[in-house]
Structure 1
Amino acid sequence: MLNKFDAIKYFCSAAETLNFRETANRFAVSPSVITRVINELEETLGEPLFKRSTRHISLTDFGEQFLPNAKQLWQDSEKLFRPKQKRNDMAGIVRITVPSFRHNDEVLTDLLTALEPYPELLIDWREGMEKADQVREKIDIGLRIGLEPDPNFIVRKIAEVGDLLVASRTLVAQLGEPTDLADFEQRYPFAVPINVATGRAWDLILNETDRLQPRKMAFMASDPYSHLQAVRLGKAAGLISEFLAKPYLQSGEWVQLLPQIPIEKWQLYLYRPYQQTTPARVRQVFELLEEILKKHWT
């Protein structure tokens, strides 16, 4: 059976040298092998590639037309099977999924700046609060908030992220500060976070003993920045991430409610799947992103 890859490279070399013996020397085979393979290729194509005489060979018109495509195929196959050390380790795609955070623009700017020396590297950057399907979406690197990292991932802890129970100073002035959790649940309108995976409200567990069960739902959204706006405008109180709430607490626009109740912190962590072989580009982007995220979060 004709080995088409060998046939293509033998043909391309013979078209360059116009000498089957020289072509045979290049590939350390006998001239009869070159002759046999070229003959089989011509039979497969149904056209002669070379005009032969006892003294020399030359390409036929069909051979001239066939040569550019053959050269391209040979070059592509050589590139495909090139040894790893001869390839550009920083060429290819890296898919990254991150939650929708406002300072993602700064993080992405730092990452792309650091990767400027690698023009053949393609970053596929995906933002969203829903959990990505690691396999179906072919995610290489992810950033996630959770109580416990997935043991199936290589994980780098970035920071601890806590929630605060907050309301605008205007709303607190209208209703008065709650005396305890039950009082808050009874009197305060609340911005309820929605789990996009189920379409239902999240179960608001504050700690091992306390669960938040507001009676007055005044606003519902899956996006934490929408909750922020509802709280900022005095529409409702909310359970807001500390890093989002901090500027408003510092400016005096917001008040932290029931600070005596401990709220369990979550982990913000960078991860990549365990794989038998991980491309160098994924490892390097992972390390760069870890450094950049820690700078922005700490």
Structure 2
Amino acid sequence: MDRQEAMAVFLAVVEEGDFSAAARRLHMTPSAVSKIIGRLEARLGVRLLQRSTRSISLTSEGSAYAESARRILGDIEDAEFAIQPGAEPRGRLRVSLPSAFGHRLIVPMLPDFIERYPEIDLELDFSDAIVDLMNGDADVAIRVAAQSDSTLVTRRLASNRRVICAAPGYLERHGVPKTPDELQRHVCLAITAHGRLNVWEFHDGSSRHAIRVRGSVEANSTEALRRLALAGIGIVRLSEILVGDDIRAGLLVPLLTDCNHAEAEPITVVYPHRRFLPPRVRVFVDFLAEQFSRRPWQEARFHGGSAEIGLLPESPPIL
């Protein structure tokens, strides 16, 4: 048995969690599977699996080998599939998405993708952490951050405007800030451990200046900050894509629109440089570009200046 086949047997054992189940899947005997794993460990000079009478588990070396083997076998499959004319994209596609953007913007797009490509199995990972694509943590990632990794291919999907806003109830109780400096006496909702996002930029004619906000309430989730703002806890600065509907509905009021420097890092999709790009990655990236070209969040973009106390809409109940 060659190395490729040995890797496939090893992965079957890892995925099934049992020699007998792996043997059934591979149409082999359990003893044959056990011998292959034993020869593989002997050749590598390390133990890949910890065996007991009731279960097996990966050693640290086995975990690293499984990740590499999965990537190598995937590359072989993708290379062979890529040259087959008319073949439909298939296989598991692991997508990393920022939590708030993923739920509010990407998930509503996915039913069309699933219907269009039924042979692709989606695995969605919602996290604001930056995953290591080169290490195989995901196949493709959607990011709202500056991209400086030259090992990744970056495709811009849309610009990203940030809006300073607060609930009518908060402004009724604390007043409307007229200048950026007045933010210092307000409750500003901050992003935990993301100092750059807590620096709010403003422009005054041709010059720009920044204010670092420090609030009594912080969260590591932009969706949590949005909900706190809706509840009237404080002032927040978030993407228009996240709060635009709330502003149009009167649940949030835009502030300092005449001087807020709204442009932020664009929304991008990134994936590793690869000689053979898996078709499932290619069609997913193309699908996102198609969906973002419609810019549904801009269909009713709000316009207007800073809020005035007398013009604040009635505060709706927050359930």
Interval of TM-score (by shorter of Structure 1 and Structure 2): 0.5 to 0.7
Partner of 1:139: helix, strand, or coil? coil
State the AA in 2 paired with 1:226. Answer: A
Partner of 1:258: helix, strand, or coil? coil
Judging changes above 3 Å, is the alpha-carbon distance between structure 1 residues 155 and 276 closer, same or farther for their aligned structure 2 residues? same
**TM-score for both structures, normalised by structure 2:** 0.59
Residue 296 of structure 1 deviates from its aligned partner by 5.5
State the AA in 1 paired with 2:201. Answer: L
8 Å contact 2:96–2:126 — kept in the other structure? Answer: yes
Partner of 2:248: helix, strand, or coil? helix
Which residue of the partner structure matches residue 219 of structure 2?
Answer: 221
Which residue of the partner structure matches residue 181 of structure 1?
Answer: 180
| 1:256 paired residue among 254, 257, 275 | 254
CA distance in 1, matches of 2:212, 2:136: 35
**Cα deviation code 1:99-120 (max 9, x no counterpart):** 122233312222211112x2xx
CA distance in 1, matches of 2:148, 2:158: 13
Residue 83 of structure 1 deviates from its aligned partner by 6.0
Q: What is the identity percentage for the equivalent residue pairs of Structure 1 and Structure 2? A: 17
Q: Which has the higher strand share?
A: 1
Judging changes above 3 Å, is the alpha-carbon distance between structure 1 residues 83 and 279 closer, same or farther for their aligned structure 2 residues? closer
Which residue of the partner structure matches residue 241 of structure 1?
Answer: 239
Q: Which has the larger radius of gyration?
A: 1
Residue 143 of structure 1 deviates from its aligned partner by 0.8
**Cα deviation code 1:182-238 (max 9, x no counterpart):** 1111x211111113xx7x7844242683223235x2321111111111111111111
- Note the aligned Cα RMSD (angstroms): 3.2
Which residue of the partner structure matches residue 112 of structure 1?
Answer: 114
State the AA in 1 paired with 2:263. Answer: E
CA distance in 2, matches of 1:165, 1:155: 28
Judging changes above 3 Å, is the alpha-carbon distance between structure 1 residues 91 and 114 closer, same or farther for their aligned structure 2 residues? closer
Judging changes above 3 Å, is the alpha-carbon distance between structure 1 residues 108 and 170 closer, same or farther for their aligned structure 2 residues? same
8 Å contact 2:160–2:263 — kept in the other structure? Answer: no
Partner of 2:156: helix, strand, or coil? strand
Judging changes above 3 Å, is the alpha-carbon distance between structure 1 residues 226 and 275 closer, same or farther for their aligned structure 2 residues? same
**Cα deviation code 1:109-166 (max 9, x no counterpart):** 22211112x2xx3322211111112133442211111245644332222111111111
Q: Is 2:116 the partner of 1:103?
A: no
State the AA in 2 paired with 1:140. Answer: D
Residue 69 of structure 1 deviates from its aligned partner by 5.5
CA distance in 1, matches of 2:278, 2:239: 35
Which residue of the partner structure matches residue 25 of structure 1?
Answer: none
CA distance in 1, matches of 2:212, 2:28: 69
CA distance in 1, matches of 2:89, 2:271: 17
Partner of 2:125: helix, strand, or coil? strand
Which residue of the partner structure matches residue 204 of structure 1?
Answer: 199
Partner of 1:227: helix, strand, or coil? helix
Which residue of the partner structure matches residue 275 of structure 1?
Answer: 274
Partner of 2:192: helix, strand, or coil? strand
**Cα deviation code 1:85-109 (max 9, x no counterpart):** 5696634322211112223331222
8 Å contact 2:158–2:268 — kept in the other structure? Answer: yes
8 Å contact 1:206–1:264 — kept in the other structure? Answer: no
Which residue of the partner structure matches residue 144 of structure 2?
Answer: 145
Q: Is 2:121 the partner of 1:126?
A: no
Judging changes above 3 Å, is the alpha-carbon distance between structure 1 residues 93 and 168 closer, same or farther for their aligned structure 2 residues? same
CA distance in 1, matches of 2:255, 2:130: 30
8 Å contact 1:94–1:281 — kept in the other structure? Answer: yes
**TM-score for both structures, normalised by structure 1:** 0.63
Judging changes above 3 Å, is the alpha-carbon distance between structure 1 residues 219 and 108 closer, same or farther for their aligned structure 2 residues? same
